[in-house]
Structure 1
Amino acid sequence: MVKVIIRYRNGKLYLEKASTDIKNRFGLSEAGDVDPIIALYLAYSSNAKIIDSENKELDLDAIIRICEENNRALETFFVFLDLVKRGKKVRPGIQGNEIVIEDEKIRIYAIDESSRISVKDLYTLVDRSIKQGYRVIIALVDLYGDVTYYEVNKMDFQKIEKKSEII
């Protein structure tokens, strides 16, 4: 049974109709924007019908392309799906690969197993999140869509001073 109708218009997804439980669970409002990851999840779980301006229903491939156009990678969907299955109340974050577990103040960054992240970028993500009161988790998505979670913390090391002693 379809609980949600989402319209794709001018490169954006808009909520036309949704049940109260879906609106509450994902923070949706009538005529408001719908994040592509949420739209993909709802379509994947057969809870949503996504239609274009000509009332043609979009398939999952078309919704995946919409996600990619909006800088939402498929890895993010796999992590989102895994967390929802585990009963977490999640929402997409600001960045394309970011997911937030609302009740637990956790930010999760989804990356695929072949991605590289520099130490500087990782430090920036962790530092920004910790300053905002969030724990940071890196979700590594493998080739088969399986997700492994790694918590990342910031550490300060004491400076080691070299003693110059001549023996």
Structure 2
Amino acid sequence: MIETDLSHYLINLTSVKEGHYDDIVSKIIDGRIDEITDRLTELATNEENGWNKLVVYLDLRMRGKRLANSNIPNVVSVVDRSDKPTTFVMIASETRPINLVRLIKLLDLSKSLGVNVVLAIVDKYGDVTYYSLEEINLLK
């Protein structure tokens, strides 16, 4: 069963750095890929959606974004200078279905925290497309 209640992830929402990915991305940016080949293989085989998360993490870092661990599976937080989350980036693959209940819960959580939500879709070539999400209410 897929966990849809996100409230228990709030405990460590801010100030926890995404060290695992941060170290890998720093070495990729510095051109030291030979130092992390074992870790990349481990990431691709052992962590669900790990490769897509790394691709999005690298893309956001290359765009100058500061990132932190949101403790919500397949979600990365973009943070400001004070490590306060400004955006939740939900990571998905174009070949796998998106859990809409979980997505709605993330939107509810973000609304209560005043945080934006972006859906990052990674295609089979590793290209990332970002979609800004928000809740709308249609009136009669």
Aligned pair in 2 of structure 1 residues 150, 98: CA closer, same or farther (>3 Å)? same
Offset at residue 119 of structure 1 (A): 2.4
Of 96-105 and 143-152, deviating more is: 96-105
**Residue of structure 1 aligned with 2:137, choices 140, 153, 156:** 156
Structure 1's consecutive aligned runs of 4 or more residues displaced over 3 angstroms after TM superposition are 46-49, 66-72
Q: Which has the higher contact order (CA 8 A, sep 6+)?
A: 2
* Contact kept in structure 2, 1:37 and 1:72, CA below 8 Å: no
SS at match of 2:125: coil
Aligned pair in 2 of structure 1 residues 137, 108: CA closer, same or farther (>3 Å)? same
Distance 1:67 1:133 in 2: 33
AA of the residue aligned to 2:28: Y
SS at match of 1:115: coil
**Residue of structure 1 aligned with 2:27, choices 19, 40, 43:** 43
Task: Report the structure, 1 or 2, having the larger strand content.
Answer: 1
**Residue of structure 2 aligned with 1:99, choices 76, 81, 101:** 76
**Residue of structure 1 aligned with 2:65, choices 40, 64, 88:** 88
Aligned pair in 2 of structure 1 residues 27, 132: CA closer, same or farther (>3 Å)? closer
AA of the residue aligned to 2:79: E
Number of aligned positions between the proteins: 122
SS at match of 1:107: strand
AA of the residue aligned to 1:43: K
Structure 1, unpaired ranges of 5+: 1-25, 29-33, 50-56, 161-167
AA of the residue aligned to 1:36: H
Offset at residue 129 of structure 1 (A): 1.6
Task: Report the structure, 1 or 2, having the larger helix content.
Answer: 2
Q: Identity of paired residues, percent? A: 23
Superposition TM-score, scaled by structure 1 size: 0.60
Residues 56-84 of structure 1: CA deviation (Å, up to 9, x unaligned): x9632434415764656111111111111
Structure showing greater Rg: 1
AA of the residue aligned to 1:75: N
